Each structure stands twice: as C-alpha cells, then as structure tokens.
Chain A
Amino acid sequence: EAQVTQNPRYLITVTGKKLTVTCSQNMNHEYMSWYRQDPGLGLRQIYYSMNVEVTDKGDVPEGYKVSRKEKRNFPLILESPSPNQTSLYFCASSLSGTGDASYEQYFGPGTRLTVT
C-alpha cells in the first residue's frame, strides 16, 4: 500500500530533551516536506527536500533540523524542544522534486507533540 508513515504518533516530552520524528514514504517520491498545524493557522511548512541531500527552509524553520540521506526517509529533529513547538506535525511527499507545485501531496498520519 502506498503510504507515508510517521513515528511516533503521539509524544509528550520536556523542554530541552532532543527528539526525532521519523517519516518514511514507499512511493519513490522525490519531494518531501514537514508541516506544523496550530489552532487558527493553516498548515505551515517547516522544511522541505527536493531530493536526497537537498533540503531547504520553509516558512517556520527555527528550532528544527532535517536530513535526507535516503530517498524514502526525512526525519525531523528538534535539538532542544520548547513549549512553543507543541503542535501537530505532518510529513508529506509528492512526485516532483523539480519545483513543480502541480503535484498533489500525500500526507502522513500526523504526530501530536507536547513539550512541557
């Protein structure tokens, strides 16, 4: 089954404790992206990657890191989480890595993160 998976689905952590949210897709997509969803705001892009070893900042990258060592995986790293990073996080992938926004994005199930 074609899908985007994320782990963990739920996480409660404390300020400053490094964490990684994994994202994996099995559709051989070139483009992958991370979004956060906060009440009253639209999905906001954190980082995106157009291909292996190619990553770039989205609209709200502060406090996050990503890596793209393999095509299928795009982990999101919070080196020192803070309460303002409490949010619902979505990973997404799409076919095109060439800057073409006309391809639909496939979303993972979401990770609800709480930082106390």
Chain B
Amino acid sequence: ILNVEQSPQSLHVQEGDSTNFTCSFPSSNFYALHWYRWETAKSPEALFVMTLNGDEKKKGRISATLNTKEGYSYLYIKGSQPEDSATYLCAFGTGANNLFFGTGTRLTVIP
C-alpha cells in the first residue's frame, strides 16, 4: 500500500475566501494523480486527472497543479462558495491501474 497524504485534514473558510490544500505522494512509479470531490451522502466525482509533471488543470473556480519530481499536487479554490463544501480526495495512480487514495481534506465554507 502506497502512502498518499493530504493536508490539512479539515478546513473552515469564509465565503469568498480562496483556499488550497495539498496532496503528497511517492515520486517514483508515478502514472497519474486524480482529484475527486465527495459531497456528504453522495459518491465521489472526478475533478481532474493529471499525468505530466507541471500539469495545470482548471474547472471554473477550481484548479490543480502537479509536481511529480517532488511528489505533490495542490488544489486551489478561488472565491469559495457554500456549495464547495465537500471532502476533496486525491489518488495516486500506478501503471497497474490501481489508485491509492488519501484520507481527504474536508472543506466547510461558512456563509
């Protein structure tokens, strides 16, 4: 089992604040890095899949960056809204199509 760490574990921000969180993963045997958004009582939904060092992806107010050499990815949310409240999961993919998930960052946006 590979170690994927996410920080912080939880985060409270005010509506309108921008925020970011980190996913750390092994820098060897890298194939892909996934970000998922998991709302309470729903199933995780994919935000981004990144495969190349230096990749940057954006979807609306959410963006992500990837550094495979040092083994980290950042997820940014600009101008947080209450509907952004969720747990954000990252997953490290090896070539064997296995994904190793972190424990997630639980974001609460306070109106």
Q: B-contacting residues of A (Cβ < 8 Å)?
A: 4, 31, 35, 40-45, 48, 50, 58-59, 90, 94, 96-110
Number of interface residues of B (CB under 8 A): 27
Residues 79-111 of B, flagged 1 when their CB comes within 8 A of A and 0 if not, give 000000000010101111111111110000000
Interface assignment of B4: CB less than 8 Å from any CB of chain A:
yes
The answer to whether B98 and A48 touch across the interface, beta carbons within 8 angstroms, is yes
Shortest distance from the beta carbon of A37 to any chain B beta carbon, whole Å = 9
Interface of A is mostly: loop
Q: Determine the residue in chain A with the shortest Cβ distance to B38.
A: A107
Contact in complex: A101, B43 (CB < 8 Å): no
Q: Is the CB of A102 within 8 A of B100?
A: no
- Cβ-neighbour of A100 out of B1, B34, B97 (below 8 A): B97
Interface of chain B residues 3 through 47 with chain A (CB within 8 A): 4, 31-32, 34, 36, 42-46
